Amino acid sequence: MRKYTSAIQYNQFKNILKFSLGASIALLIAQALHLENIGSAAIIALLTMMTTRKETINLSILRIITFCVTIILCYIFFNYFYLGFISYGLFLLSLFIFSYLFKCESSISINAVIGTHYYAGLNFTFEFLINEFLLIIIGITIALILNMILNFESNEDQMKENIKHLEEQMQECIDKLSDILISKNKESIDIEALENRINHYLEESLSYKKNTFGVQSEYYYDYFYMRNNQFKILKTIIRDISHIQSHTIQSQLIGQYLKKLGEYIKEYNHPIDQIKNIEELYNQIQGQELPKSRDEFEERAILYHIVHDIKEFLYIKQDYIQMIESCPFPNIYN
């Protein structure tokens, strides 16, 4: 758990380092070019870096387009219809309306700053226009470069390591459930820690998906999404097993099945045989002697519910494997 927490803190530190480095480089370049309002280049770089790779590209294109619109609005309100602070208010109103209509709200802050530069200087020379354009270009270029090269969240090796750790933990959890049913040993299962880890891995895979190009970017998110759905079933099984009080033949049979199931939790295992085996187990239990007391009936009902949940657990994996097998680039998953 300590290693897991340290990894999160380490990634956060590296992102902070990336943001600081990018903003500083943008400021340095703007200063070296003797531009005015050089702080804007740093802010543009910072705001653009705080996105994923795909979002960075889309946002960069959007900022260049909206920059042109901003210049036109500045020219209209600060040149032809200049009424002091009222003109600035009308400029912002027009900018907001345009941004919301064309769903480019993320560029409002940067364009508002550019408008402030024009309002403060009332300078409509070609040199000032180039100055503002270069600030935009420097900021988004630095953000693009650092997000492409130093995107610490887009780490495929880390995704593979997460898969390995999660499978080990899920296998350990299933083994403990098996031991409880077979020998009634009250094994401690830290379900909250496992849930937190799955949620974290799912978030990391979503970040990887957004920061990586190509079909492989979908794979890791789909995998952890599948495991998250399986975990929801696993929580129900854990709750049901906690209500089992007696030590019956049926509970031992299910426990023995879970013991074998834990061995097949691996990433690429197709659960066809496991589904066939659980069906056979269900029929075997159904053919056994009926319970005699109310307590036995209630526990038998719980056991049937556990078997049903195990099947659901396996069907989730089966649907996932079938989806992967239908992928147009299956070599990526081999």
Mark whether 144 and 173 lie in a shared domain: no
Give tens-digit pLDDT for 132-160: 999 999 998 998 888 777 654 447 778 88
Query: pLDDT-derived band of residue 104, with 50, 70 and 90 as boundaries?
Result: confident
Give tens-digit pLDDT for 237-246: 999 988 888 8
Q: What is the DSSP letter of 290?
A: P
Candidate from 77-81, 254-258, 294-298 with smallest mean pLDDT: 294-298
Phi, psi for 242 (deg, rounded to 5): -65, -20
Number of separate domains in the chain: 2
Mark whether 219 and 317 lie in a shared domain: yes
pLDDT at position 10, please?
Answer: 58
Give tens-digit pLDDT for 241-275: 888 888 788 888 999 999 989 888 887 788 899 99
Identity at 104, one-letter amino acid code: C
Q: From 89, 120, 149, give the residue that closes a domain.
A: 149
Mark whether 61 and 210 lie in a shared domain: no
Q: From 149, 173, 198, give the residue that closes a domain.
A: 149
DSSP string, 166-197: HHHHHHHHHHHHHHHHHH-------HHHHHHH
pLDDT at position 216, please?
Answer: 66
Query: pLDDT-derived band of residue 331, with 50, 70 and 90 as boundaries?
Result: very low
Mark whether 127 and 161 lie in a shared domain: no
The domain of 61 spans 2-149
Helix (H), strand (E) at residue 274:
helix 272-286
Q: From 114, 149, 184, give the residue that closes a domain.
A: 149
Query: pLDDT-derived band of residue 329, with 50, 70 and 90 as boundaries?
Result: very low
Mark whether 235 and 125 lie in a shared domain: no
Mark whether 212 and 126 lie in a shared domain: no
Mark whether 134 and 200 lie in a shared domain: no
Would you say 45 and 25 are in contact if contact means Cβ atoms under 8 Å apart? yes
Mark whether 143 and 165 lie in a shared domain: no
Mark whether 207 and 89 lie in a shared domain: no
Mark whether 190 and 102 lie in a shared domain: no
Q: Is the per-residue pLDDT at 5 higher than 60?
A: no
Mark whether 98 and 161 lie in a shared domain: no
Give tens-digit pLDDT for 87-102: 999 999 999 999 889 8
Phi-psi category of residue 189: left, alpha or beta, with phi > 0 → left and psi -120 to 50 → alpha = beta
Structure token pair of residue 327? 């992928």
Q: What is the rounded (10 degree) CA torsion for 89, 95, 101, 107?
A: -130
Would you say 119 and 91 are in contact if contact means Cβ atoms under 8 Å apart? yes
Instruction: Quote the pTM value.
Output: 0.65
pLDDT at position 2, please?
Answer: 47
Q: Is the per-residue pLDDT at 306 higher than 80?
A: yes
CATH code of 265's domain: 1.20.120.940
d(CA 282, CA 238): 19
